[in-house]
Structure 1
Amino acid sequence: MRLTTKGRFAVTAMIDLAMNAQDHAVKLNAISERQHISLSYLEQLFSKLRRAGLVESIRGPGGGYILGKAADQINIAQIIAAAEDCLDATLCSGKANCQSGSPCLTHNLWANLNHTINSYLSSITLASLLEQPPPDTNSQVVKLTYIH
């Protein structure tokens, strides 16, 4: 299981949109410039986010995108599901037919991990992320050295 660039960029773009679409629609090229995400990649992501009802497109002068729901009604699991289609740690896509039609020995482990990750990501809304203080860019990075 991996969270791909699609999911990461979709979450980043949605946070940017939530921060900047308070009074007006936001153009994708503005998000692209601020977040260093390819415009064509954002267009693909926002097409998926629009189909999922998470964003709305506004046409015409001053057009762009706005949130499809209030920021406190959009959670991170919804964004990732729209962008990634599925975040799944099981080999069988949750069908429990991983080993010759039966669940493998570790099926429940991975299924429970899926549930835990989904529960965690579902508990975090865009609004809650906007309330967090920005990361401290002046903090020192701790480097770990491993001795063999």
Structure 2
Amino acid sequence: MKLSTKGRYGVRAMFDLALHEGDGPIPLRSIAERQNISEHYLEQLISTLRNEGFVESVRGAHGGYMLAKNPEEITIGHIIRALEGPISLADCVAGEESNCDRSSNCVVELVWNQVKEGIDEVLDSITLEDIRQEAINAKQEGEQHGYMYHI
């Protein structure tokens, strides 16, 4: 399984919003520049995340985007599933129709299901607040040791 740019860039954009929470609405251009993501592509991702209830938009001269929920309420799993769909290694554990003629008595399906559950568990255990705190701590450590930390 490999995440597409949708999932990876979506997590980066949401992380950026979490990092700047409390600064008011963040213009899309600012997120795109900081995260090195095409503004046009980011627009598409943010639209999906807004439709899923994770982001809200503010119109006007000082408009932009903000998290619709607290960072501790949004997991990486929420973001990935909103942008990528169900997480799985095989169709038989994704809840999709399988063309496999062994699906009714497949022992290997148990393995794929356990892997899926493990991935879900990890992604659902990490919140935007967790990675926001990691970034803040790393930045503070970097300042103490005289090197620059980039987010």
- TM-score normalized by structure 1? 0.84
Query: How far, CA to CA, are the matches of 1:62 and 1:108 in structure 2?
Result: 52
Shift of 1:61: 1.7
- TM-score normalized by structure 2? 0.82
Q: Deviations over 1:60-116 (max 9, x none)?
A: 121000001001111100010111122211133345845216244421111111111
Letter in 1 for 2:81: A
Structure 1 unaligned spans of 5+: 139-148
Structure 1 residue ranges, 4+ long, deviating more than 4 angstroms after superposition: 95-98
Matches within 5 A, 1:4-19: 4-19=4-19
Structure 2 unaligned spans of 5+: none
**Given that residues 53 and 68 in structure 1 are in contact (C-alpha distance below 8 angstroms), is that contact kept between their aligned partners in structure 2?**
yes
- 1:121 aligns with 123
**Given that residues 56 and 65 in structure 2 are in contact (C-alpha distance below 8 angstroms), is that contact kept between their aligned partners in structure 1?**
yes
Matches within 5 A, 1:61-72: 61-72=61-72
Query: How far, CA to CA, are the matches of 1:91 and 1:99 in structure 2?
Result: 9
Q: Deviations over 1:13-61 (max 9, x none)?
A: 1001111131210011101111110001100100110011110011112
1:134 and 2:134 equivalent?
no
- 1:108 aligns with 110
Shift of 1:130: 1.0
| Matched positions, count | 137
- 1:81 aligns with 81
**Given that residues 58 and 64 in structure 1 are in contact (C-alpha distance below 8 angstroms), is that contact kept between their aligned partners in structure 2?**
yes
Query: How far, CA to CA, are the matches of 1:21 and 1:27 in structure 2?
Result: 13
Query: How far, CA to CA, are the matches of 1:33 and 1:106 in structure 2?
Result: 44
Query: How far, CA to CA, are the matches of 1:79 and 1:131 in structure 2?
Result: 18
Question: Which structure carries more helix by proportion?
Answer: 2
User: Residues 78, 50 of structure 1: CA spacing in aligned structure 2 closer, same or farther, 3 A cutoff?
Assistant: same
